[in-house]
Amino acid sequence: MIPSDPKKVTAICFANIDVPKMHTLEMARQQGAYQFLPTVLNTFSSEHIVSEMKISGLRGRGGAGFPTGLKWSFVPKNTGKPTYLLCNADEGEPGTFKDRDLMRFDPHLLIEGMIMAGFALGVKDAYIYIRGEFIHEAKRLNDAISEAYAANLLGDNILGSSYSMHLTVHRGAGAYICGEETALIESLEGRPGRPRFKPPFPAVEGFFRCPTVVNNVETLATVPAILEHGGEWHKAIGTPNNAGMKIFSVSGNVKKAGNYEVPLGTTMRSLIEDYAGGLQNGSVPKVIIPGGSSTPWLLAEHYDVPLTYDDLASAGSMLGSGAVIIIDETADLIALTRRLAHFYAHESCGQCTPCREGTGWLERILTRIESGQGKQEDIRTLEDAAKHMAGRTICALADGAAAPILSLLEHFPELVEQAIAEKTS
Amino acid sequence: MSDVQFSPQRLDEILTLVKRYPKAQSAILPVLHMAMEDFGHLSIPTQQLVADTLGVRLMMVREVVTFYTMYREKPCGRNLLEVCTNAGCMLNGADELLAKLCEKLKIQPGETTDDDMFSVIEVECLGACGGAPIVQINGDYHENVTEHHLDDVIAKGRTHDPI
């Protein structure tokens, strides 16, 4: 049970993550799942729910950090078209692995969050778009959904109320870009995941041109606690403007890689030392990638940064999806950057020229430098290409591809110069 | 008419699934997953079957098959080993692990052993970096994989035991 005193809250999404058999409806119900749902369905109005979500200060947990209540309030009313709710479970940003644990260990929390969100938005059909590789997680969700249907928690007239909602799990098929919400929508329509121009935003024109809300797994899993305890309760957790708990996926050169849910405002140092067991080598990271591979690097001097959207932005990076990759002295930063460049080149959908061509350039030049074939002008070309990609494309993949390279050049120019100077031929 | 056919049970499943979407074309991705399960890979006749079953043009199906990396147009070995070498795994020895795996099987990434028992591919982040290095073997995630574990996997695979 989550305490009603916000000062005593130690977990929201992961409150029951270690409970054995939590994925079954029986155990989930024993832990309080769906208990508050009838109150929401029978006594809450849509306006009240959206208002509580706004008060809560919850910001999207998938990467962009957009206020959830505000996103919901953008859905136009009385359009004559259906409104859709899509859960973004396409977890693919290198370093991010939190939604997988939520879905495989506590799927009913997500389902309950989706029913409540769907009710607030007047949704009849909701979908969970899960990355294709998560075969077992998709099965877990489907099993949980079947149990929910059998218990009248999904389907027609949920728990005897006037609200009906259907929920379908939809597997992707190996395309990082489908985590971008408009690419996800294209993919759900049975097409290649090529992002759309915005505006129109999905809230107005999304799935088959109908109003659509796309929310991350962790965001939706936070909804039941907010509606039960109130927006003010949630707002009191974390720091002003950065409310709530957040799951951080910690990986790389740490002793205990894993998912840790902490209040926003916890310092990076505390996350690494108190939760993730400290570094594998040395005492301070050489590089910290704070929010997934697309976010600019931080250095040891930022080790005490509070983990909030605002503090990480002030430090020159982003909280992103909360994927903290720790890199110690032993790592080869040029090889790592080349590997990330390969990733973005592989995952570029190809519709915008700066990204399609640029990601390939970056990878080829870095490969050349790494193998001792670098040229003096490569540094300028890398910087030039990276800067000309960012902000010149439909979606942010190109910005993400540029970030590691610009970080490498900014913070470790001597490494690149040295690699070029030590030519092998 | 295509030479390949879905079983009646599979067709029922597809018809039920299609009703969950506003338009049948949404079911292209999931039905391609089913076709991969049933037929192992997606030949052109299989892609035509998917198109006909959903009432969409073959080109719509081709566009999807060629865009997403999980759809295979050619058969792979009996056991598919997908090694992640992205950041989290790389920092925990994935490159060395992949090299050793390929050495043991005497193939390069992207290839299949001569006896068709094993295929190895290098893949992008599998979203399980807490257990790096990760190898997805026949769909199952194997975490914190060591060389020793790979030896076990190869031995089991060779004796036709499930891995």
pLDDT single digits (tens) A191-222 = 999 999 999 999 999 999 999 999 999 999 99
| Structure-block tokens of residue A237 | 């957790």
| Structure-block tokens of residue B100 | 């050793």
Check B25 against A166: CB less than 8 A apart: no
Mapped onto helix, strand or coil, the DSSP state of residue A44 is coil
Cα gap A234→A103, rounded to integer Å: 22
Run of H or E including A169: strand A166-171
Residue B163 has a pLDDT of 80
CB A111 within 8 A of CB A144: yes
Query: Model confidence at B160, in pLDDT bands (50, 70, 90)?
Result: confident
Check B88 against A325: CB less than 8 A apart: yes
Closest by Cβ to A94, choosing from B21, B69, B88? B88
Closest CA to A167 of A179, A182, A155: A155
**A272 secondary structure, DSSP code:** I
CB atoms within 10 A of CB A281: 12
The answer on pLDDT for B2 being more than 70 is no
The answer on pLDDT for A35 being more than 60 is yes
In one letter, which amino acid is A351?
A: Q
| Domains, in order of start, for chain A | 7-236 (3.40.50.11540), 247-327 (3.10.20.600), 333-424 (1.20.1440.230)
Q: What is the rounded average pLDDT of the residues A147-158?
A: 98
Model's pTM, two decimal places? 0.97
Cα gap B88→B9, rounded to integer Å: 41
Of A100, A125, A133, which to mutate for an interface test with B (greatest number of B Cβ within 10 Å)? A133
The answer on pLDDT for B20 being more than 70 is yes
B85 touches chain A (CB under 8 A): yes
- The alpha carbon of B49 is separated from its chain's Cα centroid by a whole number of angstroms, namely 19
The string of DSSP codes covering B9-48 is: HHHHHHHHHHTTSSSGGGGHHHHHHHHHHHHSS--HHHHH
Sorted by where each begins, the domain ranges of chain B are 8-67, 79-158
CB A19 within 8 A of CB A136: no
A211-225, A263-277, A398-412, B149-163: which range is least confident on average?
B149-163
| Structure-block tokens of residue B163 | 């891995």
Nearest CA in chain A to B23: A189
B132 touches chain A (CB under 8 A): yes
Check A192 against B139: CB less than 8 A apart: no
Q: What is the rounded average pLDDT of the residues A354-381?
A: 96
Conformation bin of residue A292: beta by default, left when phi > 0, alpha when psi is -120 to 50: left
Which of 3.20.20.30, 1.10.300.10, 3.40.30.10, 3.40.50.300 would CATH assign to domain B79-158?
Answer: 3.40.30.10
Residue window 306-365, chain A: list those with CB within 8 Å of chain B.
Answer: 323, 325, 327, 331, 335-336, 339-340, 343, 346-347, 349
Cα gap B34→B40, rounded to integer Å: 10
Q: Which residues in chain B are contacts of A217 at CB distance < 8 A?
A: none
Q: What is the rounded average pLDDT of the residues A231-259?
A: 97
The answer on pLDDT for A116 being more than 70 is yes
**Cα→Cα distances A184→A86, A194, A256, A264, B81, Å:** 9, 8, 32, 28, 27
A286 touches chain B (CB under 8 A): no
Closest by Cβ to B26, choosing from A172, A188, A259? A188
Residue A171 has a pLDDT of 98
d(CA B25, nearest CA chain A) in Å: 5
Nearest CA in chain B to A135: B139
pLDDT single digits (tens) A328-337 = 999 999 999 9
CB atoms within 10 A of CB A103: 28
Mapped onto helix, strand or coil, the DSSP state of residue A252 is strand
The answer on pLDDT for A1 being more than 90 is no
Check B26 against A189: CB less than 8 A apart: yes
Cα gap A247→A221, rounded to integer Å: 11
B99 touches chain A (CB under 8 A): no
More confident residue, B159 or A99: A99
Closest CA to A381 of A405, A353, A351, A346: A405
CB A300 within 8 A of CB A285: yes
In angstroms, the first-to-last Cα distance of chain A is: 65
Strand ranges in A44-145 using DSSP code E only, listed in sequence order: 83-89, 123-130
Query: Angle, nearest 10°, between helix axes A353-370 and A333-347?
Result: 150
In sequence order, the β-bridge partners of residue A242 are A239
CB B83 within 8 A of CB B142: no
Closest by Cβ to B86, choosing from A135, A193, A339? A339
| Structure-block tokens of residue B69 | 């990396």
Q: Would you state the torsion angle of the CA atoms of residues A84, A179, A139, B148, taken in this order, to the nearest 10 degrees?
A: -170
CB A247 within 8 A of CB A259: yes
Cα gap A333→A327, rounded to integer Å: 9
Check B125 against A95: CB less than 8 A apart: yes
Q: Exposed/middle/buried for A301, CB within 10 Å: 0-12, 13-18, 19+?
A: exposed
A255 touches chain B (CB under 8 A): no
The answer on pLDDT for A93 being more than 80 is yes
Backbone dihedral angles phi then psi of residue A50, each to the nearest 5 degrees: -60, -40
CB atoms within 10 A of CB A377: 11
The answer on pLDDT for A249 being more than 70 is yes
Cα gap A343→A361, rounded to integer Å: 13
Q: What is the rounded average pLDDT of the residues A183-187?
A: 98
Q: Exposed/middle/buried for A208, CB within 10 Å: 0-12, 13-18, 19+?
A: middle
pLDDT single digits (tens) A41-75 = 999 999 999 999 999 999 999 988 999 999 999 99
Query: Model confidence at B162, in pLDDT bands (50, 70, 90)?
Result: confident
Cα gap A377→A172, rounded to integer Å: 41
Q: Which residues in chain B are contacts of A340 at CB distance < 8 A?
A: 86-87
Give the CA angle between residues A295, A219, A162 to the nearest 5°: 155
Residues B71, B76, B80, B82, CA torsion sign:
negative
List, in order, residues 6 or more apart from A226 with CB less than 8 Å away. Answer: A52, A53, A56, A58, A233, A234
pLDDT single digits (tens) A264-273 = 999 999 999 9
Cα gap A154→B93, rounded to integer Å: 45
Residue A345 has a pLDDT of 98
Percentage of the residues of chain B whose pLDDT score is greater than 70: 99
In one letter, which amino acid is A285?
A: P
- The upper half-sphere exposure of residue A388, i.e. CA atoms within 13 Å in the direction of its Cβ, equals 14
| Structure-block tokens of residue A49 | 């729910």
Residue A327 has a pLDDT of 97
CB B58 within 8 A of CB B85: no
Check B68 against A175: CB less than 8 A apart: yes
Query: Model confidence at B75, in pLDDT bands (50, 70, 90)?
Result: very high
Cα gap A183→B4, rounded to integer Å: 31
Q: Which residues in chain B are contacts of A96 at CB distance < 8 A?
A: 127, 129
Q: What is the rounded average pLDDT of the residues A398-403?
A: 97
- The alpha carbon of A197 is separated from its chain's Cα centroid by a whole number of angstroms, namely 21
Q: What is the rounded average pLDDT of the residues B15-39?
A: 98
Residue A425 has a pLDDT of 56
A82 touches chain B (CB under 8 A): yes
d(CA B73, nearest CA chain A) in Å: 14
A217-226, A345-354, A383-392, B95-104: which range is least confident on average?
A383-392
Mapped onto helix, strand or coil, the DSSP state of residue A177 is helix
A136 touches chain B (CB under 8 A): yes
- The upper half-sphere exposure of residue A205, i.e. CA atoms within 13 Å in the direction of its Cβ, equals 6
Q: What is the rounded average pLDDT of the residues A122-139?
A: 98
A277 touches chain B (CB under 8 A): no
Count of CB pairs separated by less than 8 Å, A with B: 151
